[in-house]
Amino acid sequence: MQPNWIKQRAYLTPNRIAVSFHEEQWTFQELYEKSVILAYKLHACHLTKGKRVAILAPSTPKLIELLYACMQAQCEMVLLNGRLSKQELSYQVADAEVDGILVADSELEKFESNEQLISFSTLHKIEPQPFEIASEWHDDFALTIMYTSGTTGFPKGVCQTVGNHSASAVSSALNLGLTEQDAWLCTVPIFHISGFSIIVRSLLYGMKIRLYEKFDAQACAQEIANGSVTKMSVVAVTLEHILSEMERTNVTAHPNFTTMLAGGGPVPAAYLQRAQSLRLCVAQTYGMTETSSQTSTLASEDAFLKMGSAGKPLFFNQIIIDAPNKEGIGEILVRGPHVTPRYVGKFKDQPTTQDDWLHTGDMGYLDEQGFLYVVDRRSDLIISGGENIYPAEIENMLLAHEAVKEAGVCGVEDAKWGQVPVAFVVLKAPITEKQLLDFCKRNLASYKTPKTIHVVSELPRNGSNKLLRRQLNGLETQ
């Protein structure tokens, strides 16, 4: 059992600032009180004690208030990605078998009207119905469910329990350190594990969140330079924008700023060297939705000694390399209290581990001192601006079009996003590239839509008729 994080934090440090947004700020006590009233409103909607709710909203204090309220009401929260298409959102809501859908008014157009839908404005008008809010939470309660793309092309609903989240937060603190002055600059979406993990750290540490609804390189560079924040989570593409802005304005990181936590794929060595000249300490990290954020992170003191490494496993975690080749490269396996115990929906009967180890599908190696180096984020995975894209998901969508006979998708290098998806199709009826791209735009998130679609006579396949995606780029187009 664990204490109700929100109630406990408000009891321990009621007057400490919890969230700052634009020129406003709220204490933990203020957010606690708001969350209690909202929890009572959820109770009036019969959304308490294990009920599952989908949530779609931009990263603002209103979302944080609602997340607190859902925790108080002990709802399982399915966090939805606002960049997804209507079709993708509908799949996740149906797959998760939710009891209600809580949606910011600005996002209502992404859903068909139905009895499960409750807008934020409607929720706030509901008369509160008080009930006894639990003072303790079970470790195995599925606090959040987040969808991650699977190799089958169907997103998986990943459960992250109270125990998973707290183990991740404690491990991170043991690695990065913790002070009363800490303030985490949050520009990553809260619906991602990277964003939600900051909410958890805030509650467990009593740490301030400096929240931005969207990434703003100029504002971030100013915050880092003036010392108003101490830590930040980024992906390679956002890191580069911050570096460029700091270089343009000729500023360096304030001594108060201790760590730039970089995830979502390897960071180019050139970025790390530029960061060093700006006194910006970048700690590369490795993790995934199934591991409730970080599994390993480069400690601050090793940031410039082990460039390119994702560090050592955090305190309670273990990493081994399965079936290494002569260079020591093999599949990365992970074990620890941060690993998800189960999936939901379509994959609910699929075990998350084998002999207690999570098989990540990622390739890497450990050096003599135990530092992890990630070589390849799964053989076919495309990482675009920190977003994971599986080719099979795009291929399945293209194959749903009546004019497409075969489809293959791979990633190509892109100066801005790191990688972007490109598609190759064999047609069974005449159609233009623009028509296919428009079809994808209607049914896929923008970052998953292929940059280009090439028509080819055949796709490369092996003797078992399996598509060889790594050979796609060498095809001659028609």
Q: What is the pLDDT of residues 358-378, one digit of tens each?
A: 999 888 899 999 999 987 666
The partner residues of 142 in beta bridges, in order of sequence, read: 161
CATH number at residue 241: 3.40.50.12780
Q: Would you say 104 and 79 are in contact if contact means Cβ atoms under 8 Å apart?
A: no
Q: Is 143 domain-assigned? A: no
Q: How far apart are CA 178 and CA 162, in angstroms?
A: 21
Q: Is 15 domain-assigned? A: yes
**Looking at residue 470, what DSSP letter applies?**
G
- Per-residue pLDDT reduced to its tens digit, 193-243: 999 999 999 999 999 999 999 999 999 999 999 999 999 999 888 898 899
Range of the domain at 209: 171-376
Q: Is 159 domain-assigned? A: no
Nearest to 212 by CA among 345, 467, 19, 351: 19
Q: Is 142 domain-assigned? A: no
Q: How far apart are CA 235 and CA 180, in angstroms?
A: 26
Q: Are residues 263 and 396 in the same domain?
A: no
Q: Are residues 35 and 178 in the same domain?
A: no
Beta pairing class for 117-119 and 100-103: parallel
Q: Are residues 371 and 406 in the same domain?
A: no
Final residue before a domain boundary, out of 376, 391, 406: 376
Q: Are residues 108 and 199 in the same domain?
A: no
Q: Would you say 478 and 471 are in contact if contact means Cβ atoms under 8 Å apart?
A: no
Q: Is 161 domain-assigned? A: no
Q: Are residues 432 and 324 in the same domain?
A: no
CATH number at residue 85: 3.40.50.980
Q: Are residues 206 and 330 in the same domain?
A: yes
- Per-residue pLDDT reduced to its tens digit, 138-197: 999 999 999 986 556 688 999 999 999 999 999 999 999 999 899 999 999 999 999 999
In 162-213 the beta strands, taken as DSSP E runs, fall at 183-186, 208-211
Q: Are residues 307 and 189 in the same domain?
A: yes
Pinpoint the alpha helices (H) of 258-381. Answer: 269-277
Q: Which amino acid is at 249?
A: T
Beta pairing class for 259-263 and 231-235: parallel
Q: How far apart are CA 6 and CA 361, in angstroms?
A: 36
Q: Is 146 domain-assigned? A: no
Q: Is 160 domain-assigned? A: no
Nearest to 284 by CA among 292, 270, 302: 302
Q: Are residues 230 and 366 in the same domain?
A: yes
Q: Are residues 87 and 225 in the same domain?
A: no
pTM of the predicted model as reported, rounded to 2 decimal places: 0.85
Q: Would you say 56 and 94 are in contact if contact means Cβ atoms under 8 Å apart?
A: no
Total domains present in the chain: 3
Final residue before a domain boundary, out of 345, 376, 407: 376
Terminal CA-to-CA distance of the chain, rounded, Å?
Answer: 62
